Amino acid sequence: MDNLIFELKDVYFSYLGKYPALNGIDIKVKQGEKIAVIGANGSGKSTLLHILDALIFPDKGNIKVFGKELKEENFNNEDFSQNFRKKVGLIFQNPDIQLFCPTVKEDIIFGPLQLGMEKEEIQKRLKDITHLLDIENFLDRSPHHLSIGEKRKVAMASTLIINPDVLILDEPTAGLDPLTARHIVDLLIHLNSEGKTIITSTHDLHIIEEISDTVYVFSQDKKIIKSGPSIEILKDDQLLRDHNLVHIHSHHHKGKIHIHPHIHLDHHTD
Amino acid sequence: MFKNNNFIQYSIINTLSFLKESVFADEYALKKGFLQSLDPRLKTITFLLFLIQILFIKDIFILLGLYVICLLLAYLSKINLWFFLERTWIFIPLFSLFIAVPAIFSIFTPGKALMSLNILGLKLIITQQGLFGASLFVMRVTTSVSFAVLLSITTKHFELLKVLQIFKIPQIFVMTVGMCYRYIYLFIEIVENTYLAIKSRVGTKIHYKSGQRIIAWNIAFLWQRSYQLNENVYKAMLSRGYLGKPVVLDDFKIKTKDKMWLSLVAIISGLVFYFNNR
C-alpha cells in the first residue's frame, strides 16, 4: 500500500453539472509527502483541494482515503465524518471565509469544539498554537481588525489546532509580504518534518522547491498535464510558460539588463 | 451625479462610518475599567434587575439616585462622561419627550393648576400632577436608557452574544447572529471599496439614471457575493467538523470582584425596594 493517503483514479467534477472543473484526474499521495499543485487561474486546483477535503464529491471516478473508498454517504455516519475531519485539514485561500466567528479565539477553537475535544485539551492546544504562530495577542480581537497576514495565520491556527495528519493549503502565501510568506513556508517545512502530509496549491514558484517533493501541473482543460519532482518541473520553462506560470520580463541587475523567464530560481548565479 | 450624487455619497459614507463606529467599535469595552472587569453574565443579569426595578419605581428621587449610581459606574468604567451623556440623551427626546409633553396639560392629566398658557387662542393649563407624571416618565426613560447604554458600551459585542446562552437562546441562533456581526463589517468594506472604485472610474458627475443603474448593479453584485460567501463559509464549517449542532466554549469565570458586585447590587436593590414601598 506504500502508506497511501489519497488515491484518485480518473476523477471528474463539474459545477452545476455543466461547467467542468476536473477532467480525469489521477493522483497518489503518500504519508509524509509534500505535494504542490500548480496551474493557471481556473485550472481546477481549488476544486481538487475541496474534493480532497470531502467538501464536494466527484461526478465520476474513484477516491480512496486512508485505504477506504471516499463516498458522500459515508459522511452521514458521524463517527466516520469526525474521524476524517480530525485527520484532514484544509486552509482556505480567502481567510475571510474561514474566520466566521466574532473573535479570533472562537474561530481557533471552533474545530476542536465541534470534534468533541476535551476543554482542557483545547485550552492547552490553543496556548501552544497561538505561541507557535505568534498570535497570542489577537485572541479577543475580531478578525476584521486583522491584516491579511494576521488573518492567514489565524486561519492556519484554526486548522492546525485540530492537529490533522494531512494539511491541505490553498494559496497559503498569496498576497502576503515576503517575511510573513517566509514564516508560513518555514512552518510548512517544520510540520512536514514532524510527519505531516502537506498538499499545497500555489502560484508562487519560488517556494515550490521547499514545500514539495512532487508537483502536479494543471492545464486550462482541467487535466494534469505533467507531474514529477519539483526540480524537474521547475526546469521545464516551456511547460511553465505554456500554462501561464512564468512570464518573460527584463530588469536591471549588476549593471546589466537581464531578460529571462520570471521564476525566481538560480538565474543570478552566473 | 450633481447634488443627488453628493447626497448618495454623503449617505453611503455616513451610514457606513456610523455603523463602524457604533456597532463595531469596542473602544470603551476594551478599557480596563470597573464594569469591563466584571463577568458579562453577572453584569447583564444585574443590569436587567436594575431595569426591572426602574419600571416599578414611583418616586422620582429614587430614580434620580439610580441615575447618579449609573453615572458613577460610567465614571469608574473610564467612560468619557460627556460622550455618555450625549449617547443617552439623544434617545430620550425620541422615546419620551414627545409622549410626555402632552401629559403635563390638564386635557390629559387633570389636577392642581400650576400655570396656564395661551397658544393661538387655545388655553392650556399645566397641572402639578401632569408635570410630576411627565417628569417621572422622562426620568424613568433616562435612567433605563443610561443603564442599557452603559451595559452595551462596557461589554464586548461578542460577550453580549455569548450571554444569550444563559437565557437558553438556541445556540444556532446565537451563532448566526455572531456570523452576521462578523460579515456585515466585511460587506461594509465591500460597499466602501466598490463605491471608491466607481468614483475612480466615472468621477462624481454622472447622470442620475446611470447612477441608479450603478447602484442597482451594486446591490446585485453584493447579493451574489453574499450568496457565494454563504456557500463557502458553510464548507469552511464542515471542514472543521461542524455537524449542524454548534458547540461553544463556556469560558466565563466568576471572581471575587463579581461576588462583591453582586452583594452591592443586592444592597442597592433592597434599599430601592424599601424606599419605594414604605
3-state secondary structure chain A: CCCEEEEEEEEEEEECCCEEEEEEEEEEEECCCEEEEEECCCCCHHHHHHHHCCCCCCCEEEEEECCEECCHHHHHCHHHHHHHHHHEEEECCCHHHHCCCCCHHHHHHHHHHHCCCCHHHHHHHHHHHHHHCCCHHHCCCCHHHCCHHHHHHHHHHHHHCCCCCEEEEECCCCCCCHHHHHHHHHHHHHHHHCCCEEEEECCCHHHHHHHCCEEEEECCCCCEEEEEEHHHHHHCHHHHHHCCCCCEEEEEECCEEEEEECCCCCCCCC
Report the chain A residue with the minimal C-alpha distance to residue B234.
A97
- Same domain for B207 and B274, yes or no, is no
Does B156 reach chain A within 8 Å, measured CB to CB? Answer: yes
Residues B22 and B99 occupy one common structural domain: no
- Kindly state the cell numbers that stand for B196: 471608491
Report the range of poorest mean pLDDT among A108-117, A227-236, B58-67. A227-236
Query: Residue A93 domain-assigned?
Result: yes
What's the CATH code of the domain at A59? 3.40.50.300
Confidence of residue B114 (pLDDT cuts 50, 70, 90): confident
Between A177 and B24, whose confidence is greater? A177
Question: Which of B187, B192, B239 should be substituted to probe chain A, the one whose Cβ sees the most A Cβ atoms within 10 Å?
Answer: B239
Domain-located, residue A174: yes
Q: Measured between alpha carbons, how far is B146 from B214 in angstroms, rounded to an integer? A: 42
Q: Is the pLDDT of residue B20 over 80?
A: no
Question: What is the reported pLDDT for A259?
Answer: 62
**Residue A150 structural domain:** 4-261
Q: Does B137 or A166 have the greater pLDDT score?
A: A166
Q: Are residues B93 and B142 in the same domain?
A: yes
Domain count, chain A: 1
Mind listing the pLDDT tens digit for each residue in B237-272?
A: 999 999 887 777 777 788 899 999 999 999 999 999
- Do the bridges between strand B113-119 and strand B122-127 make them parallel or antiparallel, or are there none, so unpaired? antiparallel
Q: Are residues B184 and B173 in the same domain?
A: yes
Residues B95 and B174 in one domain: no
Residues 103-122 of A with CB under 8 A from B: 103, 106, 109-111, 113-116, 119, 122
Cell of B54: 426602574
Which band of pLDDT confidence, cut at 50, 70 and 90, is reported for residue A267? very low
Task: Domain of residue B39: give its range.
Answer: 30-155+256-278
pLDDT the model gives residue A266: 46
Task: Tell me, yes or no, whether A267 lies in a domain.
Answer: no
**How many beta carbons lie within 10 A of that of residue A228, not counting itself?**
12
The pLDDT assigned to A35 comes to 95
The per-residue b/e assignment along A245-265, b for 16 or more CB within 10 angstroms, e otherwise, is bbeeeeeeeeeeeeeebbbeb
Round the average pLDDT of chain B to a whole number and report it: 83
Give the length of chain B.
278
Query: Which set of grid coordinates corresponds to residue B55?
Result: 419600571
- Residue A85 in grid coordinates: 475531519
B273, B151: one domain: yes
Is the domain of B261 the same as that of B135? yes
The string of pLDDT tens digits covering residues A10-40 is 999 999 888 999 999 999 999 999 999 998 8
SS3 for B126?
Answer: strand
A175 touches chain B (CB under 8 A): no
* Residues A220, A43 contacting (CB under 8 angstroms): yes
Reported as a pLDDT band with limits 50, 70 and 90, residue B5 is low
Quote the CA–CA distance of B237 and A85 in Å, as a whole number: 11
Cα distances (angstroms) measured from residue B78 to each of A225, B146, B147: 64, 15, 15
Identify the pLDDT of residue A248.
59
SS3 category, B168: coil
**Residue A210 forms part of a structural domain:** yes
Q: What pLDDT does residue B212 have?
A: 79
**How far apart (Å, rounded) are the C-alpha atoms in residues A217 and A212?**
13
Asked if the Cβ–Cβ distance from A144 to B236 is below 8 Å, we say no
- Residues B99-105 have a mean pLDDT of 81
SS3 B271: helix
**pLDDT score of A270 more than 50:** no
- Those of residues 48-107 in A touching chain B at CB distance below 8 A are 50, 53, 55, 78, 81-82, 85-86, 89-90, 92, 94, 96-103, 106
Residue A268 lies inside a defined structural domain of this protein: no
Comparison of pLDDT for B65 and A180, the residue scoring more: B65
DSSP class of B105: B
Average pLDDT of the segment spanning A138-147: 87
Same domain, residue pair B39 and B145: yes
Q: What percent of chain B has pLDDT over 70?
A: 92
Domains: count for chain B: 2
**Any chain A CB within 8 A of the CB of B235?**
yes
Of A169-178, B13-22, B182-191, the least confident = B13-22
Instruction: Count other Cβ atoms within 10 Å, centred on residue A155.
Output: 25
Q: What is the model's pLDDT at position A199?
A: 97
A12 grid coordinates: 471528474
Kindly state whether residues B5 and B66 are assigned to the same domain: no
Chain A residues with CB inside 8 Å of B241's CB? 81-82, 85-86, 111, 114-115, 162
B175 and B148 in a common domain: no
Residues B136 and B236 grouped into a single domain = no
Question: What's the rounded mean pLDDT across residues A84-96?
Answer: 94
* Residue that the C-alpha cell 513556508 belongs to: A185
Q: Which residues pair with A89 in a beta bridge?
A: A167
Do B133 and B179 sit in the same domain of this protein? no
For the cut 80, the answer to whether the pLDDT of residue B227 exceeds it is yes
Q: Do A114 and B241 touch (CB under 8 A)?
A: yes
3-state secondary structure B6-61: HHHHHHHHHHHHHHHHHHHCCCCCCCCCCHHHCCHHHHHHHHHHHHHHHHHCCCHH
Res. A265: pLDDT tops 60: no
Residues of chain B with C-beta less than 8 angstroms from the C-beta of A114? 240-243, 246-247
pLDDT at B79: 92
